[in-house]
Every structure is written in structure tokens, then in C-alpha cells.
Amino acid sequence: MKQLSSFMLPITVLVVVPLCIEHHFVCHIPTLLLGFLVIGVGLYVMWMTIGMFIRIGKGTLAPWAPTKKLVVVGIYRYVRNPMIMGVLTVLTGEAIAFLSARILVWALVFFLINNAFFLLYEEPNLEKKFGEEYREYKRMVPRWIPRKINQER
């Protein structure tokens, strides 16, 4: 049940808020197709990261059921917050698909909120929870912009 309840966050961010802020969806086939392609990429990244949280981290993405182990494999070797990057990619795809400046602004606001959350809450708590293992991970892996795949640690 905890794993299912963790989907409340992405559904709210990706569906509920966009539907509340954008009442007039404009659809043009080329931008709709491009937008859905971008959405697909974002959903794939989210699917990968949620799977790693469950399988490797033994928890979920939700703060009320966090991981028990630090996840540092797969996409997490290149960027510390791939889940949020996936969400931002989906929001950008929605903005493209529906030609919505409001959804694009929501994506920016969502990013700023998350950046503050990571700086002020999540990263200090991960340092407390995982100690030197997280500090080393933080030194080696950037928060937002992925490092090159072939770059050595």
C-alpha cells in the first residue's frame, strides 16, 4: 500500500496541477507528437528510478516511505535527482504537446521548489542517514546536470 500511495505525488504534479492551471488545451499534431515523445522519455526515466527505489533501495520515492539503502547505480551514477528530471521532462512534454506557457511556468516553479527542498531538507537528512557514503556520492555525482557517461568517478 505504501508503494501505491507514493504515486500520489507524481500524479498530483503531472496531472492534477496541470489540469487546474490550464483550462484551454491547444492541440496541433506536430507539437502534440513531439510533446508525447518528450513525455515518453520522462515517464521512462521515472519508471526506471521508481523501480530502483523499490528493488535496490527497499523503499519508495515518497517521504513517508523512504528508501532504506542509498541508490547509486544505473542513472543515479550520473545525476543525484533523476526522478525529478523525469518529472520535469514530462511537464516540459506536456507544455510542448498542449502549447501551454502555464504548464511550462509550473515546471519552473516545481524545479525551484524541489531545488530548495533538496538543499534545505533532503540532502542534510541523507547525510545524517547514510553518513560518509552519501557525502562521497554527493562529491562524485552532480545534483541536476548529468556528468558524462564515460567520465570516471
Going by pLDDT thresholds of 50, 70 and 90, the confidence category of residue 18 is confident
d(CA 138, CA 45): 20
Residue 120, pLDDT > 80, answer yes
Per-residue model confidence (pLDDT) at position 45:
94
CB neighbourhood size of 2 (10 A): 10
**pLDDT tens-digit map of 32-76:** 899 999 999 999 999 999 899 889 998 877 777 788 999 999 999
Residue 135, pLDDT > 90, answer yes
d(CA 110, CA 91): 9
d(CA 143, CA 153): 15
Overall pTM surpassing 0.85 (yes/no): no
Write down the domain spans for the chain. 30-140
Going by pLDDT thresholds of 50, 70 and 90, the confidence category of residue 25 is confident
Question: Which has more confidence, 64 or 111?
Answer: 111
d(CA 103, CA 40): 17
d(CA 39, CA 122): 26
Going by pLDDT thresholds of 50, 70 and 90, the confidence category of residue 107 is very high
Q: What angle do CA 4, 130, 6 make, to 5 degrees?
A: 10
Residue 153, pLDDT > 50, answer no
